[in-house]
Chains A and B, each alone.
Chain A
Amino acid sequence: EVQLVESGGGVVQPGGSLRLSCEASGFSISTYSLNWVRQAPGKGLEWISYISGPSTTINYADSVKGRFTISRDNAKNSLYLQMNSLTAEDTAVYFCSRVVAGPGWWYGMDVWGQGTTVTVSS
């Protein structure tokens, strides 16, 4: 079964750090771009970071740029999100998603994890 499973969420104090993981099974992530998307309580979906298959293209939303770092280990079939300088506004459920796309074409984010919850609170 094709699946993504996030982990690493928890409660952290403002200014703290957390590292999220997203492990894939049923497929090799090496040929796919991947995203992190979050949903704050009572809010909609917010894209926060994108990484291409060979990690040659990395993008961040302005809300997390300079604080969050996306990375991947294709050998471990895993995606990561290092989150530093966390604030209450980063409290959310964090989802990873698989992208089906190539140069000049986009077929959407077809596989998503169930999410991991991050709470930033003192």
Chain B
Amino acid sequence: EIVLTQSPGTLSLSPGERATLSCRATQSVTSSYLDWYQHKPGQAPRLLIYGASTRATGIPDRFSGSGSGTDFTLTISRLEPEDFAVYYCHLYGDHLTFGGGTKVEIK
């Protein structure tokens, strides 16, 4: 079973700063099956990136995804106030798997 580990657990940043979130798999995965979600308390999760690097419909271009093999990255180029949330990487397979999440909080 593939496990996704996200780091850091919490990222404390100010609006306007760059956020770099990591997702590491325990073995090499198909990048086309790796996606990223944003989740705010009391709201539905939101698909940001699929196929490791393709932005979902309506997602601003300050969000970008990259990576392959076992290491993937979500980058938010300049944090907006509405970007403070928890971010999850996710892998599709026989058993869908989420990473543990990275909380991006206001510094």
Chain A residues engaging chain B, CB cutoff 8 angstroms: 35, 37, 39, 44-47, 50, 59, 61-62, 95, 97, 100-101, 105-110, 112-115
Contact = CB atoms under 8 A, between A and B. Distances in A.
B15 interface: no
Interface string B87-98: 010101011111
A35 B46 contact: no
Indicate the member of B88, B95, B99 with the most A CB atoms within 10 Å: B95
A51 to B, nearest CB: 12
Nearest to A96: B44
- Closest 9 A/B residue pairs (Cβ): A108-B50, A112-B44, A47-B96, A44-B101, A108-B35, A106-B92, A45-B98, A108-B47, A107-B50
A21 to B, nearest CB: 16
A106 B33 contact: yes
Contact of B101 (A45, A101, A105): A45
Given A101-B92, A108-B47, A114-B44, A46 B56 contact: no
A105 B54 CA distance: 13
A2 B14 CA distance: 34
A93 to B, nearest CB: 9
Contact of B51 (A44, A47, A107): A107
B56 A108 contact: yes
6 contacts: A44-B101, A47-B98, A108-B35, A108-B56, A109-B45, A112-B44
Indicate the member of B37, B45, B46, B94 with the most A CB atoms within 10 Å: B45
B50 A97 contact: no
Indicate the member of B92, B96, B100 with the most A CB atoms within 10 Å: B96
Interface string B22-61: 0000000000110101010001111101110010110000
Nearest to A39: B39
A45 B39 contact: yes
A35 B47 contact: no
B98 A46 contact: yes
